[in-house]
Chains A and B, each alone.
Chain A
Amino acid sequence: MPNSNKRKLALCGWLQEHQREVYESSLKLQKFLFFYEVFSKTEGENADFRNLQGYERGPVFSAVYGDYKHEKPELDQVSLSIHQDGLVKINQDRAQKTSFMVKSLTENELTDLTHMFHIWRAKEDRIMSGERNVPLSEKDFNENDEELISQINAIYTKELVQNSIIVSVGEKNFVFSSDDYNKLTEKHHEALLGLSTNPEINNPVFVEIDKRGRLIVD
């Protein structure tokens, strides 16, 4: 049996069902779990920071990390089953927002973002000196972290998350409205390929299609 608790298993199952490609990256799964719990906390609901440790690439729920690394087929199966049982309640809007945000950024960008949080930075010296299994404490989640979450919430609005589709090309994640997504042609996809190596545009790359059919890149 996996060592992860039921809440984390249910979240793993939810992510498998709704954003499989995010789930297939161990780092992105950890970021999904971290931000889901942080959003829960800042929205005044119960959050679960048990077994949260500081790794070089950010906060990690160690039990899930171990299950994912050593027992992935069992984790896949059990977590999906627990999610589908529906006994552990998952806030759908929050899970959608979190998975959308994680999908819209690269692993390195997510790492840089979680390094901004005091809950990780409070132990940064120990973590970066090579110490292993450094526990992170919910008490270190401070006003700076609340402000970061407030800014992230302002970027990833419910309207954006519910009405947008992400097209990932290389290291770039292009965000289209559902309407514009349906207008994409082969030529647009070729243009996105060209844009995907442009260092001057940053994720998430918001794109609209104008009346002449041109991609208007923010």
Chain B
Amino acid sequence: MIDRKDVVTIRIPFPNISSDLAVRSHMYICHHTKQRLKKFVKCQSLKPYMLANKTIKHFIDEVPNLKRNPFSKPTRIDCDKEFYTTNLRYPLSLRTTTRPDVCDNLIQMVELKLGCDGCDSNALNEQEMLQLNSCVSRI
């Protein structure tokens, strides 16, 4: 089972497009785990629209650095919101391969940013997760 600091890659279906043809891929950092509860923050490849759009208030930008993170592109970690599941089991095989986690300093930065003004908490769609991520299972 994954633990705090671990980074997982999750596949999400597109509406109206067969998931045999195209799926979305998201990276999440697990920042909290307690019994069945797993909490994550979302990582997105940094894009120019993010530089012009200030809708994300609390974030961390990371460049690829295997001493700190498993990212292959410059990445923005969105600390305005967290995502959680309560009934899913995530095997270690779901972790990123170049490096399975983030370093202590980065997870501490994430927790600090999340605590700044509080953050929105959103449930991940567990059914969607099970549909495309075959190694994820119900507890």
Contact = CB atoms under 8 A, between A and B. Distances in A.
Interface of A: 101, 105, 109, 112-113, 115-116, 148, 151-152, 154-155, 187-188, 190-191, 194-195, 198, 201-204, 206, 212, 214-218
Top 8 nearest A-B pairs (CB, nearest first) are: A215-B22, A112-B52, A154-B74, A191-B21, A191-B22, A216-B25, A194-B17, A116-B52
Interface stretch (B41-49, B88-96, B111-119): B41-49
A172 to B, nearest CB: 12
Given A194-B16, A194-B17, A198-B14, A112 B49 contact: yes
17 contacts: A101-B48, A113-B48, A115-B52, A116-B51, A148-B51, A151-B61, A152-B48, A154-B63, A155-B73, A191-B21, A194-B14, A206-B45, A214-B20, A215-B22, A216-B11, A217-B23, A217-B25
B24 interface: yes
Which bracket fits the contact residues of B?
A: 20 to 34
Contacts of A201: 24
Contacts of A198: 14
A121 B63 CA distance: 28
A115 B52 CA distance: 8
Most buried by B among A113, A203, A215: A215
Contacts of A105: 48
A188 B21 contact: yes
Given A154-B74, A155-B74, A206-B73, A215 B23 contact: yes
Interface string B53-91: 100000001010000000001100000000000000000
